Structure 1
């Protein structure tokens, strides 16, 4: 079956760090990049053509941007190596620095319940920002290690740190984690995503493995957790293993997509522990993936991800691209009841 996809115009000049769809508009996509920009795109409904997709606005930063998110339809946030947390106004194409960290901003999520941004940093803190308040920065909470990734579902915040540490918080009390865990995977955490139904999360490592975890600390629930190998290939008798750079749960079916430096994106049904689909291989590693809010599209960012260092950067390769893929029944669990 032919896959329906197209590339967005005006891609980034350097590696893409994050693609993030609007929580309410299925056609609006925010893209952060190492080229020091954040761009907002209007994505066309017609998957056969990229001509009607357009860049709506662009925000310049002082260094590489590692994280971005929406707060509502007209606003978002961004942060990265320049340590500033910026509030983005899409209507007026203006940015406002609402605060900063002492080191790079590595992740951010917007909490509707708190009406605030939660930003995370390599400086071992999480910070809260409400851009409407007279003093935007509300609070700062320390963590034991550098934060690599955060994700949020309902009031549950998952924080993935260096040294394979995980903290799970209730956002109504960020002073103290509800749970402290060590990663089920042996190597550095490369990606993290929470299940849409709020039951747990998936995490992946630089060493081609994904772990499926559950929040419920009871022995019965913890018995359900497992890990598996993926994004691996045997070439000429040699096993090649690639980092799993991104994970994203489908907003309706709670299946998830994984993306790797092998240039592939796979869709998994974690309940039956099976891969539902592996899409056509891309020419570059995949750095980030995101489903839109109605689950009809998947954004796929392809670019060099520096797994092979300077030597890999000198190779001839295509420019960074953002592909918009129309999602079909392949993301639906086999036992799904309409």
Structure 2
């Protein structure tokens, strides 16, 4: 029976080799991805198998596939790799915010009106920090933060989970949006009963904004059905600019496409608004660089202190 010593030469490179081979399903492709020759990769996998006393890959299969024991090991190996890379990434940033990277996820409207000005301030002080911005919908933004792809996000509350913290950042009221040639354009404010339901470009209820509209008291059911539908506000605004219809859209989102063809009108009888939040992973601190970027960002929201 093989005795396993606490002293082992197995390290993170063996785990990375196994995970890469499982993903590429070929020794040649995996070796190329790792920047080594196939014989070196083969030797690395053999070392790992010898240490654990198990065959982890079926080399006779085409493509190369994990054995049952290998598949079980790979689940743990992937988690170990993820934790290792996160720890190493954080360690490299401990020395200060002049190095490292920050990844932020936000809706396009937030990128335009809040994140871009904050980034300008941040980069002026810390030009060496790498910044990556993901623009997406609320559901995906929360997932990007949960999956550690993004350090933090800015979106409506979507995920009902204790794994995320939501810090209210900006209140964004809904407005009526139409083409400049529409009969209601130029008014100071209008009532819902003045809007022709047949003209409404409905928003998919699987989006954060769509859910808010569907749940709002006083919204005519016909507004939710629409013969013309969109999955996002960018599509709504594009169609409105072409005179194809009207919509109820958060003011910030309605301002993303800055076209003279698009008009906004206040709503007299609909006190509907969305609350944009700073989304972070619960019980996990941010890097010094991410914290400093948030310091630049918070005062720019309607709920921030400037």
Q: Which structure exhibits the higher relative contact order, with contacts defined as CA atoms closer than 8 Å and separated by 6 or more residues?
A: 2
Q: Which has the higher strand share?
A: 1
Asked if Structure 1 and Structure 2 have the same fold, meaning a TM-score greater than 0.5 normalized by the shorter chain, the answer is no
Q: Which has the higher helix share?
A: 2
TM-score range, shorter chain: under 0.3
User: Which structure is larger by alpha-carbon Rg, 1 or 2?
Assistant: 2
With the length of structure 1 as denominator, give the TM-score of the two structures: 0.21
